[in-house]
Structure 1
């Protein structure tokens, strides 16, 4: 049986923190599906199509990584794609408490789902997409925060 993990998020934009978690999880799973969840209560800075394209560009040479979009419950999406694992990155204690609550609810929805937490590499532990959006909005330099493929698009 294939070990498929879903890495859910908005990825608005995908950051070096995200890619750190994905890259380090490659040896743990047969396939990682980056699931861009659509949330009707959030207005993203970047289009869904742009976020999908960035991820495709970043992982073009990594066949184990796929990107899909979804709406609704993460546990239901895991069932649709055959994922038994949910991959989550943890920056600190606050993240852990929040993520554990979500993991507990996902397990209630489907008792076969396991959430795997990876702690961020320390140099990426302060990167959050919301902070990156603020840096971009106010004209700061996002270079230490974003993958090259995202920077190329933003700097155009």
Structure 2
């Protein structure tokens, strides 16, 4: 009997995708047959990059991993997970404050999708402090601030282009 491939969904806004996100994605590829990076339309957040830009950046930085696909979603992640036949949802947890929120979210998702497991991954030590919010603030407001060691070179180039366009 053939084993059914395990599909994991890693949802988020990814505005922009950081080295921390990349770290979790690479580690998830070692655990699951396929990982779908589900990029939220972000209707509840004002994003620096539009959906197409965020998806393009994610595809570019994950191009070496054919088992990772990048897809847009809006609405409930539950509907996206079910549509794609996923059995696992991956969530990143950096600190206790993340865990509290993610634990509540996992409980709600278990209620909505009892057949889908939530797996928490912590980033490698050098990425534990990185957040997309910090990256945006440093790159756009930082003056001398440098976010180049927080994101891949391709993402950094796009951040600097956004900053130049806003100037």
The verdict on a shared fold, with TM-score over 0.5 as the criterion, is yes
Q: Which moved more, 1:11-20 or 1:35-44?
A: 35-44
1 CA distance for matches of 2:159 and 2:42? 23
Max Rg structure: 2
Q: Which of the residues 13, 27, 30 maps onto 1:27?
A: 30
| Superposed displacement of residue 136, structure 1 | 1.4
| Superposed displacement of residue 61, structure 1 | 2.3
TM-score normalised by structure 2 residue count: 0.89
1 CA distance for matches of 2:152 and 2:159? 11
Q: Which of the residues 99, 103, 107 maps onto 1:100?
A: 103
Q: Which moved more, 1:53-62 or 1:106-115?
A: 53-62
Q: Relative CO higher for 1 or 2, CA cutoff 8 Å, sep ≥ 6?
A: 1
Q: Which moved more, 1:75-84 or 1:33-42?
A: 33-42
Number of matched pairs: 156
Secondary structure of 1:26's aligned partner: helix
Q: Which of the residues 7, 27, 33 maps onto 2:10?
A: 7
What CA deviation, in whole Å up to 9, does each residue of 1:50-84 have, x standing for no partner?
11111111122211000000111111110001111
| Superposed displacement of residue 27, structure 1 | 0.9
1:141 aligned partner: 146
- Residue 34 (structure 2) pairs with residue 36 (structure 1): no
2:90 aligned partner: 87
Question: Aligned-pair RMSD on alpha carbons?
Answer: 1.1
- Gaps of at least 5 residues in structure 1 are none
1:109 aligned partner: 112
2 CA distance for matches of 1:92 and 1:7? 18
Q: Which of the residues 115, 122, 125 maps onto 2:125?
A: 122
TM-score normalised by structure 1 residue count: 0.95
Q: Which runs of 4+ in 1 moved over 3 A?
A: none
